[in-house]
Amino acid sequence: MSPTEAIKIARQRGLDLIEIVPNATPPVCKVMDFGKFKYEQTKKDKLQRKHQHVSLLKELRFHPNTDDHDFEFKVRHGRRFLEEGHKLKATVVFKGREITYKEHGEELLKRLAEQLADVAKVDQVAKLEGRSMAMIFAPDKIGKKKTEGKSKTQGKQKSVET
């Protein structure tokens, strides 16, 4: 139909004529309420942004001579970050002459990797950058599902015992 007829029909219905595919032959148009369409589109966009998970890079900082208790404490924090779906950057910072004992830092990061093996995979191996050595972990989807299943069964066992 001609554009003037289409505009006439849209005005009779109190709606707008919107060109959908301008490059087609003939161009494709639609009769609709454009204001309502824009409103619904913005609601859909807001809902998608609301359900979108933003992954952050969280950091744990160690020193080569970090004590066992401090190490375990930071491992718990790292585990929590990974279970929330964030990436984790573990950094060993060398001060003064500690840089001569790089193997202590590597050993510490390997121990951390072993501790977090059930919830994370190594995204970037230990790499020396100036006076710090960093290793990046990414959350492991498979490991996360296994730990959720274990916690559910443990909860059932506790309720049976009490």
Domains of the chain: 1-35 (3.10.20.80), 57-148 (3.30.110.10)
Amino acid, single-letter form, for residue 21: V
Q: Are 143 and 118 in contact (CB under 8 A)?
A: yes
Amino acid identity for residue 147 in this structure? T
Could you list the beta-strand ranges (E) of the chain. Answer: 16-21, 28-32, 57-62, 87-93, 120-129, 132-139
CA 122 to chain centre: 16
Q: Distance (Å, rounded) from C-alpha 76 to C-alpha 89?
A: 14
- The CA distance from 150 to 110, in Å, is 25
Nearest one of 95, 87, 84, 97 to 62, comparing CA atoms: 95
Instruction: Give the model confidence (pLDDT) of 80-92 as tens digits.
Output: 999 988 999 999 9
| pLDDT, position 94 | 93
**What is the reported pLDDT for 152?**
52
* Residues 20-44 pLDDT 10s: 888 888 888 999 898 998 999 999 9
Q: Are 89 and 57 in contact (CB under 8 A)?
A: yes
Residues β-bridged to residue 88: 58, 137
pLDDT per position as a tens digit, 82-141: 998 899 999 999 999 988 988 999 999 999 999 999 999 998 898 888 999 999 999 987
Rounded CA-CA distance 113/75 in Å is 10
